[in-house]
Structure 1
Amino acid sequence: MIHVVGKLGIVLLLSLLVQSCEHKELCYDHAHVVDLDIVFDWSEAPYAKPRTMVIQFFRMDGSYYATRELASPAGGKIRIEADKYKVLFHNGEMEFVGEIGDTYATYELTTKPQSILAPMGRSELNALPPEATANQPVRNIPEIVWGGKLEYVDIQEGKDDQSVTLVLREITTEYTIEVLNVENMSPELDVSGALSSMAECWRIEANKPSGMLVTMPFELQRCYDEKKLIARFASFGHCPDSEDKHTFFIYTSNQTYYDFDVTNQIHDKSSGLKHIHIVIDGLKLPSAEGGMSPSIDGWNDVEDNDIEMN
């Protein structure tokens, strides 16, 4: 009889524990976790076409809480625990942009490693000497990025129809490079470019460039009728910590390269902070048939290139 009572007591105790657990789970699902409508405001970037949107939630002490991703750039509904948060947000599904940092203050969007000659598609060429990349790590140019921050949002328990509006602005800077009056352009001579002392990352909380100084390679489009080379690309800006020298490099499949000091043009703020326009007037490329004989390291730096920089 004692054994029977003991077993009944254990069963009763387990039943109470299960009910208690179920009650806590029910309470968690319906009281602490609430629906929140996310609305993205694109009024400051009306032509943006992001693939997805990423929202990073941080606790008020700056520690990471959770990530939500929405398929629609208009926004959508999420489920989240009622609490007070700081929020960082940006577009997602980017091939050349990564995410690093696990606090509100250290979360960054970062560029990814790249081969200096990848835009030319000539990886079989000898490696460039260090001075031809400004002795800096080489990183890919990022996609266009839009983002922003919200320093405080209070998501309340037991309240219906809660929403938050997140205003997006373009984070990246647009660079346009034009090389005018180019001689010896030929379909048989491949060319590409690179720009030094660019920002590796963007820190959304601080709204500024960050990370190391890097060199970024990019394609140069050949405009034969206009005798012009042109490039347009996005970046996270330049000089994250101090003003540095910027060199524009041009590489050719004949293993010659050219370097131009474009520091003043990049630091000139007359065209605005989000649009940088660099112009080089005058460039004589090597002949596609013969070209110059490579030096002992496989590349020639053309130093006698008479140019006028606008």
Structure 2
Amino acid sequence: MHPALSVIIFTTATGAGYGLLIWSGLLSAFSATPAERVVALVTLGTALLLVTLGLLSSTLHLGRPERAWRALSQWRTSWLSREGLAAIATYVPATLLGLAWIVSPDPGLAAVLLGVMTACCAVVTIYCTAMIYASLKTVHQWRNQYVVPNYFALGLYCGALLFAALLHLLGHGQPLVDGVAAAAGLVALGGKLAYWRFIATTSHVSTPESATGLGGIGKVRLFEAPHTEENYLMREMGFTIARKHADKLRKLVVLALFGAPILLMLISLLLGGVAAAVVALIAVLSAGAGILVERWLFFAEAKHTVMLYYGARAA
């Protein structure tokens, strides 16, 4: 599938943003970190900024962005529509939680209720986003048991890295949060490796023989292309990446998205003050570069079954 920049930014920014909203909402509710007004407002504001950036970016992939609102009407059948509604709904408790912190330095019960609601709405939105891809039966690399868990794992991991860095920058660094970020990274790495192994060793059940219905005659091969120029299907669904390039990019993802940030989070456990803040910030920057490559691969390695009609032997 064609790895459009707008969709890469959408999945990257919203994933990190909703992950940060989950941690911020839960920690506002249960006060696992110093429940100070500045910390709550900065983390909430950063999360909502990332979410908004991602949602705006997603509209750029539409042929008519001004008609994006119409997608919200198809919630009964479309995960894209459900994701849009869930994203809008998440703004409500998150904004109210921010207002509660503005009004009072100790919102009390309001922080508990709104924090839990914010985290739950963020969880639902991440699930809907993952299902946009996991629901497509024609794309084997998306329609499997790893996509939804990996979306959650990566969102929580990136959100934890951001949360840890913001705490350090605000002078409230917490070893617990650093440790949670490192642990979340290990879980996300395990899920990503399992996903890569799955798509490398399996393929879609459809074949050129089953797609054309000519399997009873024998092997089916493309005799002549249906047209002489590249069309929309070939541009959007026929994107391919060489195996050797994919392997190099996977190694880059392991290093930039997982290896370096996890190590840096462990180092931050031994540091304090400005040094820990610098280390945490470098971890976020490294993970940011890594997640962009990981998202690019997620789309570039996906194969649509329609390409079986254009000479592909498997999808």
**TM-score using structure 1 length:** 0.28
* Greater gyration radius: 1
* Greater per-residue strand proportion: 1
**TM-score using structure 2 length:** 0.28
